[in-house]
Amino acid sequence: MSRALVGWFGIMWLCWFLLASNVEAQVEYLKYKDPKQPVAARVKDLLDRMTLDEKIGQMVQIDRSVANAEVMKTNFIGSVLSGGGSEPLPKATAQDWIDMINEFQKGSLASRLGIPMMYGIDAVHGHNNVYNATIFPHNVGLGCTRDPELVQRIGAATALEVRATGIPYVFAPCIAVCRDPRWGRCYESYSEDHKIVQEMTEIITGLQGDVPIDYKKGLPYVGDKTKVAACAKHFVGDGGTTRGVNEDNTLIDWHGLLSIHMPAYYDSILKGVSTVMVSYSSWNGIKMHANRDLVTGFLKNTLKFKGFVISDWQGIDKITAPPGSNYSYSVQASIEAGVDMVMVPYIFKEFIQDLTFMVKNKIIPMDRIDDAVERILFVKFTMGLFENPLADYSLVNELGSQEHRNLAREAVRKSLVLLKNGKNGSAPLLPLPKKTSKILVAGTHADNLGYQCGGWTIKWQGFTGNTDTSGTTVLGAIKLAVDPTTQIVFQGNPGSEFVNSNKFDYAIVVVGEPPYAETAGDSPTLTLADPGPNIINTVCGTIKCVVIVISGRPIVIEPYVSSIDALVAAWLPGTEGQGVTDVLFGDYGFTGKLARTWFKSVDQLPMNVDDPHYDPLYPFDFGLTTESVKDLVEKSTSAALGVTACVFTITLTLIASLYLTG
């Protein structure tokens, strides 16, 4: 009996030993899931366990409209995105976004190795795809603030709102140097001057967090769960195409490319930017999506960028003309050039099949695939996706918060540029009095939130009207700003009889461009949208007027300037219209300076500061300044007190003199 018992204990001990050994082996097997391991070791461990199918799946990014849990699991998809306007449902809440994204993520986690996917979205001026988000001014306005610290705070606020919807990755910032305002994406550029664009890369530290002092140059960095992975775009020269034609050819020598279009990428890499997006455009006839010398040779090897390179939307298709006409060649050329993740976004199985065939037949070496997947995994580990793959509701109240709207309002007032203040040597019109009898507010853009926000807002091409998201129009802001006794009369396109028959003290005219994005915004004429010119002529020809121009770039304005008393470039200010009235009525002074040259005629274009033929209407760095009403009152009070004190002193002196001589 005792012998049997000993035997039984022996068997039990052996089982325990084998089980313990198996658990130990299991821990070793899951090294890539151990957050205590160095990121590089986790990447290597995971990569060694991956099949070719799993590796290629990581290189694919698809649109949410073709994603579901099963697709994610069976195809090992590395990333999902929302294209412009692609949302779970109309006016989706933060919770709706989180629920959708978590469903996709659960599919990824159910795959053999459980590699989490990363969800990306265009958040180019706030979380612009999402209903009720704070919409900040577009970059063209932010460049006029000359305030990198402000832009950093905008990045941090944007990151919070993006994370509020469960998204950890944004396709921002755009660091293009727009050299021709005829380009439909010019409003996505901070300036024609690369130095301003470089300064504004500070938004990356807002989005991702500040890179630690001892952090290795070129490595991607994401601080914590309140931050997002950023994307510097579009590499490289996208703002320099001939005549500003979108996706076209940038003709410039190597020195010009390095000195104008490349510097902001140096800064972005030093700030730990996680990803870089390749441009649709070409450099001297070579498509950037197929340019191995620049993508691999310069960006990865010379600049030591260690994050991953992503294509633009169907960007590899456009390597050929017409797009997609030789898809296999496009796949080969882009991957060999150094593109790591491909934004397919719909027909992903064809891409997977073509790339798999090329690797198996040694057309594309396995080393190139491993390089791409290592980079993608490095970013995923760095941003904490393996530890926190599923989003929760803890940040939902950050979406459109009052704190962020206050920040956007600050950005608006600092971005406005005062171009004219006073007609023909007359007294300045601005700041306007809040208490007066009757004010006319006119113009197509005065009460239109969609026009105010511009493209890349809710929908790809933007929207029209006031119902697609929440915010304050310029008209709404005026009503909030003036004295309760002041009468506001709004007329979108008033006739001359109406203007003449009402005794208006002054008029505020708000006109500009309609919303647009990318190629739809390319314009050879850059004209003010009708009936803008007629409104200016009708109103400003009769009564004192300030004209506010809502536009994504300088437009033709010279023919109307002489009839205008005050002229303000408001760019595309976003949802917080009160930032406009803050300076209009003198609560704050105007401080913005042009980050773009304002031309006289389109015949002068392209024309940038320091060009030999430089003859602008308003030069680069121009901007009139005003003082706030509060400062003016304090100054006048101080001056009055000074005069009083002076009179008092003189009087005392005279009395003393008379007394002494009497």
**Residues noted as catalytic:** 312, 518
Round to whole Å and give the CA distance between 268 and 275: 10
Taking CB atoms within 8 Å and a gap of at least 24, the contacts of 639-643 are none
Q: How many CA atoms does the CB half-sphere of 251 hold within 13 Å?
A: 5
| 227 bridge partner residues | none
Round to whole Å and give the CA distance between 116 and 380: 8
Q: Are 144 and 571 in contact (CB under 8 A)?
A: yes
DSSP 457: B
Helix (H) or strand (E) holding 278: strand 275-278
> Residue 420: phi, psi to the nearest 5?
-150, 140
Q: Are 18 and 341 in contact (CB under 8 A)?
A: no
Round to whole Å and give the CA distance between 532 and 509: 9
Amino acid code (one letter) for 421: N
SS3 242: helix
Name which of 263, 269, 294 is nearest 281 in CA terms. Answer: 294
Sign of CA dihedral 115, 121, 127, 131: negative
Round to whole Å and give the CA distance between 656 and 499: 62
Sequence length of the chain is 662
Round to whole Å and give the CA distance between 533 and 188: 26
Name which of 580, 605, 590 is nearest 417 in CA terms. Answer: 590
Using the CB atoms, write b or e for 518-542: b if 16+ within 10 Å: beebbbeebebbeebbebbebbbeb
Q: Are 271 and 213 in contact (CB under 8 A)?
A: no
Taking CB atoms within 8 Å and a gap of at least 24, the contacts of 197-200 are 197/143, 197/263, 197/264, 198/263, 198/264, 198/266, 198/267, 199/146, 199/148, 200/139, 200/142, 200/143, 200/148, 200/151, 200/173, 200/175
Write out 553-600 in H/E/C secondary structure.
CCCCCHHHHCCCCEEEEEECCCCECHHHHHHHCCCCCCCCCCCCCECC
Compute, in degrees rounded to 10, the torsion defined by CA atoms 227, 232, 233, 239.
Answer: 120
Structure tokens at 12: 């039990």
Q: Are 158 and 209 in contact (CB under 8 A)?
A: no
Cis peptide bond N-terminal to 365, omega within 30:
no
Q: How many CA atoms does the CB half-sphere of 111 hold within 13 Å?
A: 27
Within 30-147, residue ranges assigned H as helices are: 39-49, 52-58, 69-75, 94-109, 139-142
